[in-house]
Each structure stands twice: as C-alpha cells, then as structure tokens.
Amino acid sequence: MGLKCADLDELRGLIGDCHRCALGDTRTTLVFGVGPSNADIVLVGEAPGRNEDLNGEPFVGAAGKLLDELLSSIGMARNGLYIANVLKCRPPGNRNPQAHEIETCTPFLREQLRLIDPALVVTLGNFSTRLLLATNEPITRLHGKVCHAGGMSILPSYHPAAAIYDRSKRNDLFSDFARIPDLVVSSADETVSAERMNGAEHG
C-alpha cells in the first residue's frame, strides 16, 4: 500500500472506518493518534488497550499515567508531542499484534511519521522498536541507545505498561527518557548543518 497524503487529516480520511484487517470487526474505536502535526517528538507504542479502545486516545489508564510522569520528569507534557501506535485497533483481549495485522496497518503509521517528520521517534516496547529498526533484537538490549533507520533518529525504550510493576524497567524508562531533550536539540542541529551544507553546495 503506497500512501502519499497531503496532511494528517487527509490520511485520517483515507483510513476511514477501516476493516482492512479483522481488528476492524472487534474494535470499539479506531485510535488514530494525537498531537501536533509538526511535533519534534513522536512516541510509538504497540496497540490500543481496553481503555484506549473505549476512549479513542492512545495511552490512557495506568500506562498513560506513567507516561505522563515520564514526560513530566523531563519538563514536557503530552500535548507537546505526537503519540501513535503500531496498530490503530485493539487486538481482542490485548493479545500481541499478529504479523498480518502489522503488515496491513503500519503503512498508516509510516505515513504519519513521514508527514510529521519529527526530530526524534521514541519507540515504546518490542513491537514498535522491531518494526521501525527492522531488527529482531529484544528491547532489553536496545533500550536507551539512539539508532538511525529509515531517515529517522530513534530512541527505543520499554513500553510503560511493562514497567508499571517492574522497578528496574521503570528506572530504565526514566533514564532513557532523560536523554530525550538533548537528542532533540542535537538532531535539530544536525538538520541545520545539513541544510547549510546543501546551501553551500548549491548556493
């Protein structure tokens, strides 16, 4: 599925009342993603859970509360960034996303990322990390390390839901998030230098 939309509204319209995979038959609400269309940071989780399916917003409930704490620890609030998931519809019983669901749904996420073009993508958990880094490495090995893939700077970390009752993952999440402000600044600096070099080459 090759997508090329003018903006996020057009993409949302194109997705419509999606039934391209079977999750369209079991979801309550399609969770498209929320945040500014020009956000510097995009967080990518796994899939809507029960609360998200009912509310239509990503990261509500206990995992959302921990996410708010993480953002607050670096002086940010969720309305300053964009939040999306690998899948836009809830897998029944919160089971793991299946390969054919990921394959069918993720062109929408990739188009969101292309349109927003953030300085930094933070992948939360194994599914978004493996998808965007095209790797099978587990998140335990990758978290906190900045990677570059598909033209994006990516910081993998744990999914907040996995850290609610796990003190060590929780500490790692806070350490990983502490890197975000500097990474956004350095990514913006790299973009400015690249633009200057292009200007020097072509000007």
Dihedral (C-alpha) 123, 32, 185, 201: value to the nearest 10 degrees? 100
**Is 19 a binder of ligand SF4 (CB under 6 A)?**
yes
Nearer to ligand SF4, 42 or 105 (CB): 105
| Cα distance between residue 108 and residue 30, in whole Å | 12
Q: If residue 120 lies in a helix (H) or strand (E), which one and from where to where?
A: strand 120-124
Q: Are strands 82-85 and 120-124 parallel, antiparallel or unpaired?
A: unpaired
| Cα distance between residue 112 and residue 138, in whole Å | 25
Helix (H, G, I), strand (E, B) or coil at 34: strand
Binder among 42, 87, 139, 152 for ligand SF4 (CB under 6 A): 87
Nearer to ligand SF4, 30 or 63 (CB): 30
Rounded to a whole number of angstroms, the minimum distance from the CB of residue 155 to ligand SF4 is 25
**Is 21 a binder of ligand SF4 (CB under 6 A)?**
yes
Length of the chain: 203
| Cα distance between residue 52 and residue 115, in whole Å | 23
Size of the site for ligand SF4 (CB under 6 A): 14
Nearer to ligand SF4, 50 or 145 (CB): 50
The stretch near ligand SF4 (CB under 6 A) out of 34-42, 70-78, 82-90, 148-156 is 82-90
Binding site for ligand SF4 (CB under 6 A): 15, 18-21, 23-24, 30, 87-89, 101, 104-105
